[in-house]
Amino acid sequence: MIRANDPKLTSWVEVPEGSDFPIQNLPFGIYKIEGQQPRVCTAIGEHIADLYVLAEHGFFKDLDIDQEVFEQDYLNDFMALGKAKTSAVRNRLSEILDNDLEEWDASELASFFLKPQKDVEMLLPVKVGDYTDFYSSREHATNVGTMFRDPENALLPNWLHLPVGYHGRASSIVVSGTPIQRPVGQQKPNDADAPVFGPSRLLDFELEMGFVIGQPTQLGQSISTAEAEDYIFGMVVFNDWSARDIQKWEYVPLGPFLAKSFASTISPWIVTMDALDPFRTDGPEQDPEVLPYLKYEGQKNYDIHLEVGIQGENMKAPHIVCRSNFKYMYWNMSQQLAHHTVNGCNVNVGDICASGTISGPTPDSYGSMLEISWRGSKPVAMPDGSERKFIQDGDTVTMRAHCEKDGVRIGFGDTSGKILPARNTNS
């Protein structure tokens, strides 16, 4: 067991019961306050710990890390140090914050490096160079195939043989809390002879998780399933907003474009694979047998509980419309990365690969409004008396994710975005 994951550890920093950020988590992010450069931080309870200040006071001196790596706009340079050093930093943070370890007692310096989370602004944690979106939930793919094609042949012939994916838009990935403007584009209503232009009427969320690349490869190099975890720094919650009506008209023959590229929202915290290690689990049985380069050994799925809430402007709290789990994924992250690079495609530090919509086996675990409302035929009743088929202007969609075992909860914090009306256009 990694010492920092020990469920018996407690911190001298107060951690409220049910917090996403106990001492066993220690995710990484980037924060800023007025008058100061952005800095690398971790979360502990309701506070952030400033790693630059800790470095100034010599807490990482023996790890041979330049303290300037902790005063950056993004985590890219920190991740590029390699897992040996980033894991050492997490382990040192655990020692610094441990209630019982006296060797690294930092409690007297608390006022220097701890700040309430409510008093800081969390930024986009990584500079995303490239973004790939997979389509790896069998339940989701089956639901969509049933709706739009032959229910008896819901999955396309290739789906059980490879992790289907497409290259997405990196520039429009935003951090939680960023408002999202309703997209506009072409749509072709069923009763129309020609397409029309205007705001999307079928705006949707997609419940996904993303993994962040922490080490680069060279062009021509491939990554095996056995090596994949060496290249994955950690995970984020990922809301891949989707305009279903725009998508329906544009996606044949080359797939999603404007329907997806307007925005994707990620959590500000990257939870490390080290912190998630205790929550490994078996994945679904894969039949037919996969090709050799996609075979793997060990537990490569993770038991991560997921939920989505929608809060209209007249509601006091989000209404939960979905509870799912990352363990349902048919294709795991190691297989996705092996497939992504098998042709020699290189990856870079900060690249993000998203899972695709995560749907479970029951309607309350479907990961999109397209499925939850079944193309709008089953509206969802809301506490204020309204109903939702898709997302309305003024709605805030919040996703949450956490693991729980042996009394330890490892969470990702809120991932939210409020939908603003479409821009005025006469195009």
Q: Annotated catalytic sites, by residue?
A: 140
DSSP assignment string, 364-420: GG-SBHHHHTTTTTSPEE-TTS-EESSPPTT-EEEEEEEEEETTEEEE---EEEEEE
Q: Using an 8 Å Cβ cutoff, are 62 and 104 in contact?
A: no
Strands of 296-351 (E only): list them: 301-302, 305-311, 319-325
Task: Kindly give, in sequence order, each residue whose CB lies less than 8 Å from that of residue 128, ignoring residues fewer than 6 positions away.
Answer: 170, 173, 350, 351, 352
Token pair belonging to 95: 């020692």
φ, ψ (nearest 5 deg) of residue 325: -155, 140
Q: Using the structure block, give the residue that is written with the tokens 């985590």.
A: 75
Is residue 355 helix, strand or coil?
coil
Report the C-alpha gap between 371 and 359 in whole angstroms: 9
φ, ψ (nearest 5 deg) of residue 114: -100, 135
- The size of the chain, in residues, is 427
CB neighbours (10 Å) of residue 174?
Answer: 17
Amino acid letter for position 181: Q
Report the C-alpha gap between 369 and 380 in whole angstroms: 9
Q: Using an 8 Å Cβ cutoff, are 324 and 358 in contact?
A: yes
Report the C-alpha gap between 386 and 310 in whole angstroms: 12
Which helix (H) or strand (E) segment holds residue 372: the answer is helix 369-372
Q: HEC states along 45-82? A: CCEEEEHHHHHHCCCCHHHCCCHHHHCCCCCHHHHCCC
